[in-house]
Amino acid sequence: MTTAFVLGGGGVLGAVEVGMLRAVFEREITPDLVLGTSVGALNGAMVARDPSLAVIDRLTDLWAATAQAGSTEGADLFRERPLRTVRRVVATGGRNIYSSKPLQQRLIDEFGDLTFEDLPVRFGVCAASIERAAEHWFTSGPLVPAIVASAAVPGLLPPARATTEYGEEHFLDGGIVNSIPVGRAAALGATRIFVLQVGRIDRPLQVPRRPWEVARVSFEVARRHRFMRELAEIPDDVEVHVLPAAGTSPKDDTMLAFRDFNSVQRRIDATYAASRTYLDEHLAAG
């Protein structure tokens, strides 16, 4: 049996994946393959480096530190108030709201010069290549540039530069091309797949009422359509578990929800309980 963990994107909602990971590791389920997109690339890198229950404490500490920073005016990753920053970007003709330097430094502090080849578990990170208009998978070389590329949210963070087999390219958030790469896991030979997603696929979409909601809803239609299509195409002999995200709501889909770090521990705990219940029911039945 080849077990894959697929960790999807979702900004601050990625904290729920920590609860899911705790539930699966407590059942002594370990991955042979880890795939991550956007914030799932960060969580996935932590797991691929330490595929054991011990990683949960480290992940919880990281998310707790992010929550503490995000609740203050002096947050490391997002220092300025959003409306003030948007006005500055428009006035100066800029292309993005935030700098990627704080994120990059935090990743360097965590991973240093670690490479994919150093990891005990096979790991892949998805990003969107601008030049090739293509889905790109980082599977070798340094970890940090790959994670930064996968998490380069359009408009919020600048496109990331990285050198690949095609030369120097620019990348945007992997969620644009493959937010929950369950099909990739099956294509790479996984026979049992645990999908760690942030809960948006479970919520019905509403018709956009404001101009800035149009892009968000359009993106959600595209990402959910691909995930559901790939899920339906998984061979019958591949076991797939889509773990439930708890503690999230439609309010988390608003434009500024990514700044709400205050409920991180509540999300982790609620999703852990829901995932534990799911595993108790479905793995026992299976």
Phi, psi of 241 (to 5 degrees): -125, 115
- pLDDT, average across residues 23-37: 97
What pLDDT is stored for residue 219 in this prediction?
78
255 vs 8 pLDDT, higher one: 8
Confidence of residue 264 (pLDDT cuts 50, 70, 90): confident
Does the pLDDT at position 267 exceed 90? Answer: no
Confidence of residue 151 (pLDDT cuts 50, 70, 90): very high
Whether residue 40 contacts residue 21, with contact meaning beta carbons closer than 8 Å, is answered with no
pLDDT digits (tens, 9 = 90+) for 217-240: 887 888 888 999 999 999 999 999
What is the rounded CA–CA span in Å between residue 196 and residue 8? 6
What pLDDT is stored for residue 91 in this prediction?
40
**Mean per-residue pLDDT over the chain, rounded:** 84
120 vs 81 pLDDT, higher one: 120
Does the pLDDT at position 42 exceed 80? Answer: yes
222 vs 285 pLDDT, higher one: 222
Confidence of residue 178 (pLDDT cuts 50, 70, 90): very high
Whether residue 158 contacts residue 205, with contact meaning beta carbons closer than 8 Å, is answered with no
- pLDDT, average across residues 90-106: 63
Angle between helices 16-26 and 39-49 (to 10 degrees): 30
What pLDDT is stored for residue 240 in this prediction?
97
Ranking 89-98, 149-158, 213-222 by mean pLDDT, the lowest is 89-98
DSSP 231-261: HHHS-TTSEEEEEPP-S--GGGGSTTGGG--
260 vs 54 pLDDT, higher one: 54
Does the pLDDT at position 139 exceed 50? Answer: yes
Sequence-distant (6+) residues with CB within 8 A of 284 are none
What pLDDT is stored for residue 215 in this prediction?
79
For the chain, give the percent of residues with pLDDT over 90. Answer: 58
What pLDDT is stored for residue 203 in this prediction?
75
Whether residue 18 contacts residue 267, with contact meaning beta carbons closer than 8 Å, is answered with no
Task: Report helix, strand or coil for 266.
Answer: helix
Amino acid at site 179? S
CA angle 140, 147, 20 (to 5 degrees): 105
pLDDT digits (tens, 9 = 90+) for 109-118: 999 999 999 9
Ranking 68-77, 84-93, 110-119, 265-274 by mean pLDDT, the lowest is 84-93
What pLDDT is stored for residue 200 in this prediction?
75
**Burial of 222 from C-beta contacts in 10 A (0-12 / 13-18 / 19+):** middle
Ranking 25-34, 58-67, 91-100, 147-156 by mean pLDDT, the lowest is 91-100
